[in-house]
Structure 1
Amino acid sequence: MSYRVPRGTFDILPEEVNIWHYIERQVQEICRRYRYREVRTPLFEHTELFVRGVGDTTDIVEKEMYTFNDRGDRSLTLRPEGTAGVVRSFVEHKMYGQSLPSKLYYFGPMFRYERPQAGRNRQFHQFGIEVFGSHDPAIDVEVIAVGMDLFKSLGLKEVEVEINSVATPEIRQNYFEKLIEYFTPYQEELAKDARERLHRNPMRILDSKDPRTKEIAADAPSILDFLDEECLSYFNQVKRYLDLLEIPYRVNDRLVRGLDYYTHTAFEFVVDIPGAQASTIGGGGRYNGLVQEIGGPEMPGVGFGLGIERIILACKAQGVELPIHDQLDCFIVTIGEEAKLHSIQLLHDLRQAGLACERDYLDRKVKGQMKAADRENARFVVILGEEELERKEINVKSLETGEQEQIPLDTVVDYLMKKTLK
């Protein structure tokens, strides 16, 4: 029997892993500058956390969660997104008793059962940040700026921010009534899931992918027409700060996001990705009631989640060449058994000095070893044979210039250290 990865998952092979490492390093550096600290939460949580935190009318909870009962008959779910778990950790460990605002980030795999396509898998990876404890609209914009800084650091261009205000639960209730009034005459023309949500959460209809439902929703009332003075002022401040930082954005009053916990600001990062069904590479917003919903004190929050696979797709679509260096500093070529034995200690010494080094382990002839050094993209080849050992000298050849030099054997580490630092 031959085994293959489950549908909707994929292997990240060695030649691709360097891209992931580079993105992770950029994430770590940007979060260091903005003073976000990493938190790592379990890959699975109690199912109720996502039902309450994400929302029982969302596609995630209704259709996409990987849920199972363990041997203790407890319902557990592989995490479909990162925010609920981070909020749970924030509450459980009483981080709200520490200095606020609390600024956290995470990076890791998520799981959703959905139809695989370009940039959308059943196991996917997210970088996300969460900020707890501040009502200031400036922190919403800082969160957006973190995302834009990451895209800039990767060389990704033409990323735009779509923003909306989803107001407060009280305003949304009034808005819900108007949406129900608008959609009811079209009820039989709506997609099945839209009909089911009509009286539970009609805003979710605005997010429908069904063509006819989208056509009907195009003329639905705008939530921006229902904002009170406080919500409008908040939204205007967010836009003002975005203008101040020269972050390109456009207002999209149909943007509701796929989660039920948002209040005030909701946003998405969009960029053209040929071949992908969606152009969104991440999004987020403010969620002032979520901490309390999950058992903590009344505490404002704001954050985002970015899809790493989609970011990589966008970089490839734009022809972005990430500055990834996977060069071998030196390859040791040996001639004879005594040289092989000596190469073990020399290899160890070079690696202990911080150099990336390799030697032959397949008993190849000198020509085969030189070809291996070339395939490994080695900068230098160290050639060690019986005669060199007797003279206590070693040949060092630069594969970049073709120059070759004989040096004392006991100076090879210092010699290569100086050469590779140039």
Structure 2
Amino acid sequence: MTVTEDIDVRVHALQSETERRFVEQEHRFFHALSNLRKYWNGPDHLRRSSIIALGWAITSKAARSATTGGIGIVALISVFLAWKANALLARQNQTLDQQTMLIEAQRRASLNIELSSIWDQLRDEVPEQPPSVGFEPSNVLTARIVSVSRALLPYQSLEIGAAHASNAGSRFWEFQLPASQVVLRDRPLSPERGQLIQALAALGIDIETLSYRGATFAYADLSGQILSFPAADRVDLSRASFRGAIIWRTDFSHTNLAGADFACAYFEHVIFGGGVGTVMNYGIKFGEVDLGGFIVDHSTSGLENYRGFAGVHIHPDTLDMADLRGALLDGLRFRRESAEWADNIMKKVDRSRYYLMDAPGGTGDKIIKSRDENFEHAQRDAMNQRCEKERPSIDARIARGVWSDTLTEEWPGWLD
């Protein structure tokens, strides 16, 4: 072999080796796949190099994907753990808020001794048969009652209710909430003031005189109670809760009821006044209340003028300023003297559901009627089912005589 031939052989071998290395080092997937197709029927060393290169391309791509995916999974896990930590922190903050609010409730324990002393003194002062007009305690005892009523400040109490999240805990990654949770009420109330005014009324104490002396029952929690206040002139019951209460034989003509909540309450022979004391009746909430038994009347002036009627009389000023969202208006009646207010009330209601008509009999009264009686009956039944859970039991009502046929025994002559 000549020198020239030997050089050519070496150059060819070097070219083949260089080409093989280039093919084998091509790790881009599509280029490696293209080389495999190109050299599949070519020289053995190039075919092997293209197979090796494609294998490396697939392996490296999978490795990069796995690495990227792993980083993504780690990031997701970190976000999930951070979300869980924030949820737990939020729940801890809620618990701290509850504990802070309950400090006021714990303070009530220090007033129990004073309340017990007041009851002992009342027991000594109140006769066996209190006078019908109301018993007035001694000046010293009156001052003590006024003082304790003002000390029983409202606060947000705890109540056990269903979890707010309907699907809470249905998936493993969701923040777990118990089937029922302890939550703070949405508004501050004073259950102690509610108990105080009920006890005073049951003993026949003159609550009006106590109010003139400075006693307050604002924010009183009277939810689900059976109540009767024949005389409540100037009594401060602003922002009190009467949710689900049974209210009968009660005169609210000059009672401060600003912002009071009567949702789901049941009324029998009740008067809501207005006129001079209009500002005291601003914003009464009648949600979930059937106003079909209400009579809108300017001349609301005491129970003795309505002994023959077991429904509810309400001053048009009071009704005009009331919150009627959620109330049922079918059957709401306007006396002839107050009929001009009917148009103002109709501006606040859904006209596609209600309309105003003249009362039968040519009395000049106006009545709000439903356009769909079947729908109204269904709404009334659904409301009664919801409210029945908040109202006292039927046995409790019968025991207190909260029915028209038994009221004559507790208030003789009121149906005459």
TM-score (norm 1): 0.20
TM-score (norm 2): 0.20
Higher relative contact order (CA 8 A, sep 6+): 1
Structure 1 or 2, whichever has the larger Rg, is 2
Which is helix-richer, 1 or 2? 2
Which is strand-richer, 1 or 2? 1
